[in-house]
Homo-oligomer: A and B are copies of this chain.
Amino acid sequence: MMLVDDLLAGSRRALARVLTLIENDAAAAAEALAALFPHTGRAHLVGVTGAPGTGKSTLVNQVALELRRQGRTVGIVAVDPTSPFSGGAILGDRIRMRDLAGDPGVFIRSMASRGSLGGLARATSNVVRALDAAGFDVVLIETVGAGQSEVDIARHAQTVVVVEAPGLGDDIQAFKAGILEIADVLVVNKADDPRAKNTARALQAMLDLGNGSAGRHMALHHGVLMAAALPTQATAEPDSAPRWAVPIQETNALRGDGVPDLVAALDSHRAYLAGSGEMARRERSRAALELDSLLRERLLARLLADVDRQRLAALVDDIVSRRTVPHEAARLLVEESAP
């Protein structure tokens, strides 16, 4: 596939075209991704997340500038699960362009939701893969929001950075506890704010309480039917492996303060992943999750290809009118489709 050859040879235009294929979920994207797949696995995938107002976009720009200073190339994927109306993604691109424009060592892609959040997660995963294959040393994946989208980051990223800022509300504690679980590195941005020290102390106290990122792997593995099939997980002895102590980095993204230390923390975490065997464990986990989701997709598509549309509509009617329990409707469809 010529487009893929051009991408692998460093053509930014070919890369942009492949990313558009991926975003449009074109059939041609599957072919391109298959050709790119053997060339993936080299980039350091770093997720950056946090609530609105923490200044994480500015921080991502600063991290990119610092990596460039060190001679490393950077791909940025900004995932904005907001309205197609908002134009947020395009605006974001324009702001970033001021700092990073014209540097061939940086490639920025903003992705907005087009109605399907599941589709966005899949597209993001594939865009990250294409940037990895294109040879970027580091791929920064930035997401807005909290909750599920942050857990999804953990599936794409090797190192997850959670950005906090002082004074974002009083009842934010429970919220922080939730995202602490997926953090490999914590950042208190706007560190010049007099409340920053308090925020850092509160985060440290919660880390001490919750054992940091220990819960994350639980969240990733739980509920995945095929986890049982992974011998390296069954034989893994997490207690004997060295533990990663989640660092709290203070930054001022507007001035760039603390950014070199943050980049050093990212590098340390990657070294930890490689040295502890945790990288291999996460790779297997990610592969199993992807296989899980692809199998569901494929099996459902196969079933639906055989099912009569009238029958399907009648079953939906039966659920709506409470004549048939949803589980029973699913059972009937699977049974009827089985040869």
Contacts and interface: CB of A to CB of B under 8 A. Distances in A.
A85 to B, nearest CB: 4
Interface in A252-291: 280, 283-284, 287-288, 290-291
Contact of A83 (B38, B82, B171, B181): B181
Contacts of A230: 313, 316
Given A309-B229, A316-B288, A330-B291, A52 B147 contact: no
A300 B225 contact: yes
A1 interface: no
Contact of A148 (B147, B174, B280): B147
A243 to B, nearest CB: 16
Contact of A294 (B54, B149, B330): B330
Interface stretch (A9-17, A194-202, A214-222): A214-222
Interface secondary structure of A, over-half rule: helix
B294 A326 contact: yes
A104 interface: no
Contacts of A81: 147-148, 178
A304 B288 CA distance: 13
Contacts of A177: 82-83, 85-86, 88
Contacts of A114: 222
Interface string A79-99: 011111110100110000000
Contacts of A242: none
Given A174-B86, A180-B83, A225-B301, A320 B280 contact: yes
A69 interface: no
Contact of A296 (B30, B283, B299): B299
Contacts of A316: 226, 229-230, 284, 287-288, 291
A300 B295 contact: yes
A296 B334 CA distance: 10
Interface residues of A, number: 105
Interface string A138-157: 00000011111101100000
Contacts of A327: 30, 33-34, 294
A115 to B, nearest CB: 4
A309 B146 contact: no
Interface in A140-196: 144-149, 151-152, 168-175, 177-178, 180-181
Contacts of A119: 222-223
Given A146-B146, A302-B334, A330-B295, A52 B223 contact: no
A249 to B, nearest CB: 20
Contacts of A211: 85
A169 B296 contact: no
| The 10 A-B residue pairs with the shortest CB-CB distance in the complex, in nearest-first order | A53-B169, A148-B148, A82-B178, A86-B177, A145-B147, A88-B174, A115-B222, A116-B223, A229-B312, A299-B299
13 contacts: A34-B325, A37-B325, A80-B178, A81-B147, A82-B177, A86-B174, A86-B206, A117-B151, A118-B223, A146-B146, A225-B300, A295-B334, A299-B334
